Amino acid sequence: VQLATDDEIGRMAKSFNSMASALEQTEQQRKALYADIVHELRNPVTVARCRLEAMLDGMVALSPQELKSVHHEMLMLSRVITDLRDLSLAGNGQLTLHKHSMDVQVWFTKAVEEFQILAEGKGIQLSCSMERKIPKINADQERLNQIMNNLLSNAIRHTSDGGTILVSLLKNMDKGIIVSIQDTGSGIPAEELKHIFERFYRVDRSRSRNTGGTGLGLAIVKQLVELHGGEVWVESQIGKGSTFSFSLPMKN
């Protein structure tokens, strides 16, 4: 029998400690995630329930405005549920992509066009630029739309009247194709950037919920881009704006 030296025991104790603290951290993250989910689901249900109960109590009809607000809460609820389902499927490796050969230029132009009215309505100038001769790629078009929708609606939400958003499509030797969404919005503080792709992470919790976010958009973007074999990243400067970019490999 060979006895462990003090050195070895020290090393083992250290490694057990770090395993225990990693487990503790995951457990804490799991608890925080549950708390966030409960909070997100409870909010819209409570608002809608109260309105409906007021109607039942008084036996009066809801005004169109009140009905609209109940409908809005229901929409929020289904968005959170769909987003959570996607994230949970992705986390279990069960989110399957339906890939087809795609003309990226056609898709890109259409995807940006769909946001023109929304941007104009907020007084934001939305424009796009595209490199020529981008080869076809194999990708799930619905999921690419979801990525683009999340990033563009964020850009619009965080940019004020008079701002601009430039969406570009480029070819890159190493990364494949790159889509960038550059806004002149509020920007994100440097210390927040590393958390921005986490589930339910919001720089300003209360404001973000009022503007219709679920706090899951970027977490989903990250999962979907990575499922395609790509990467997503962000550069931002407070007060100047943010640029979110993602790559998609050309051969997959």
70 or 124: CB nearest ligand ADP? 124
Q: How far is the CB of 239 from ligand ADP (least distance, A)?
A: 11
Residue 232: enclosing H or E segment and its boundaries?
A: strand 232-237
Enumerate binding residues for ligand ADP (CB under 6 A): 150, 154-155, 158, 183, 185-186, 188, 196, 201-204, 208, 213-219, 242
Q: How far is the CB of 123 from ligand ADP (least distance, A)?
A: 16
104 or 181: CB nearest ligand ADP? 181
CA dist., res. 18 & res. 24, Å (int)? 10
137 or 246: CB nearest ligand ADP? 246
**CA contacts within 13 A on the Cβ side of 54:** 12
CA dist., res. 180 & res. 71, Å (int)? 33
Q: How far is the CB of 44 from ligand ADP (least distance, A)?
A: 14
* Per-position DSSP letters for 8-49, written without gaps between them: HHHHHHHHHHHHHHHHHHHHHHHHHHHHHHHHHHHHHHHHHH
15 or 127: CB nearest ligand ADP? 127
Q: How far is the CB of 186 from ligand ADP (least distance, A)?
A: 5
236 or 247: CB nearest ligand ADP? 236
Residue position matching structure tokens 């977490």: 219
Q: How far is the CB of 204 from ligand ADP (least distance, A)?
A: 6
Residue position matching structure tokens 């919005």: 185
CA dist., res. 152 & res. 137, Å (int)? 21
Q: Which residue of the chain is nearest ligand ADP when measured via CB? A: 213
How large is the C-alpha radius of gyration of the chain?
23
Residue 163: enclosing H or E segment and its boundaries?
A: none
Q: How far is the CB of 40 from ligand ADP (least distance, A)?
A: 10
137 or 188: CB nearest ligand ADP? 188
